[in-house]
Amino acid sequence: MAQIILKDVTKSFNEEKVVKGLNLTIKDGSFTVLVGPSGCGKSTTLRMIAGLEKQTSGDIWIGDKCVNEVSPGKRNIAMVFQNYALYPTMTVRENIEFGLINKKVPKDERKKLISEISEIVGLTDYLNKKPQYLSGGQRQRVALARAMVKKPQVFILDEPLSNLDAKLRNQMRTELIELHKRLGTTFVYVTHDQVEAMSMGDEIVLLNKGEIQQVASPMNIYQDPNNVFTAEFIGTPAMNMLNYQDIKVYLPNVNLQAGYLGFRPEYAEINHSQDDQLTLPGEIITRETLGSEIIYKVKTSAGTIQVKSYLASVEMDNKVNVSVSFEHLYFFDKQGERMRNVSIGKKPLVLEGV
């Protein structure tokens, strides 16, 4: 196991800087997820840690060693990619064993390692089969076993589940979480899927345009976002974000220098107005029934918002009032940065008209 430290790491391709002065500590034994939209620099960061890309500037430490000039094969890292990169002419056993042979591991030790790892990932019955006869999930397990058998300090996983169907992705997410707990090794995982990030990581690193937006546990990054980008990226549906100028006249503190007001869809209630709430009259546009929950899209004069409800459905043609308690409102300045410790008074906030 090993912690990973990035100090002022940058990466440029020609004139374009895709990673901008990254400072990050990935804790020893953690399951850290790098998440963000396409092009945010997460895969490039992963490849720099692995040594597959050379950083333009800055230092990368793995454990107590600076690895700037260390080749990928000597960084004691194992990678699992989106495409499994299995050898089609080799059996499962041979795919797993290949790296061990190159490292000149004795035959008896290879046999013991393969048996042990195959049992962990559920491949014992498939060792003599070739990849073409395996399902997508089984191929992914072969790729994991091939990485695990090296017993690395760090596992690096670059969107390893993106080629699987939804049901299998859910299953493999659970298996990877259990595998991490069993191995106790540092996992660094890249995904663009925030649901995957929230369900798997014990620490999330949210990136945008080559810069870190926030580093926190899943619940902290959800409940305490640092900025508008984090608030809108993390959460399904996304946080509702309204322009403060559209509603400030209805707030007790009219002198608040805010740019945006946000609230989570699940903290909004339909037709349950009380004191100490912001209330927005509106009209339901659409309704998505998702079994245990219903997602409403509601048009108001301040903008279109979403409400997540676990109660009985509301008829489509109804005019409604959407209410949110003061304590569940988030305020952001004009640059999109979070404003904390905002006091907005004790009387109801009412936004009238549609």
Answer yes or no: do 196 and 263 share one domain.
no
| Helix axes 107-121 and 166-183, enclosed angle (nearest 10) | 130
Q: Find the CATH number of the domain harbouring 332.
A: 2.40.50.140
**3-class secondary structure for 293-316?**
CEEEEEEECCEEEEEEECCCCCCC
Structure-block tokens of residue 175:
């298996």
Answer yes or no: do 272 and 140 share one domain.
no
Answer yes or no: do 174 and 307 share one domain.
no
**What is the full DSSP assignment across 319-350?**
EEEEEEEGGG-EEE-TTSBEE-S----SS-EE
Tens digits of residue pLDDT in 188-232: 999 988 889 999 999 999 999 999 999 999 999 999 999 999 999
User: Does the global pTM surpass 0.85?
Assistant: yes
**Residue 104 CB contacts under 8 Å (≥ 6 apart), including other chains:** none
**Which DSSP state fits 41?**
S
Domain finish residue from 229, 260, 291:
229
**pLDDT averaged over every residue in the chain:** 89
CA distance to 257, 274, 309, 344, 345, per residue, from 254 (Å): 9, 21, 31, 9, 11
Q: Helix, strand, or coil here: 38?
A: coil
Tens digits of residue pLDDT in 107-132: 999 999 999 888 888 899 999 999 99
Mean pLDDT of 304-325: 84
pLDDT tier at 248 (50, 70, 90 boundaries)? confident
Domain finish residue from 195, 229, 263:
229
Residue 50 CB neighbour total at 10 angstroms: 20
Answer yes or no: do 223 and 132 share one domain.
yes
Give yes or no for a contact between 297 and 282, defined as CB atoms under 8 angstroms apart. no
Give yes or no for a contact between 156 and 49, defined as CB atoms under 8 angstroms apart. yes
Tens digits of residue pLDDT in 63-116: 999 999 999 989 999 988 877 788 999 999 999 999 889 888 999 999 999 998
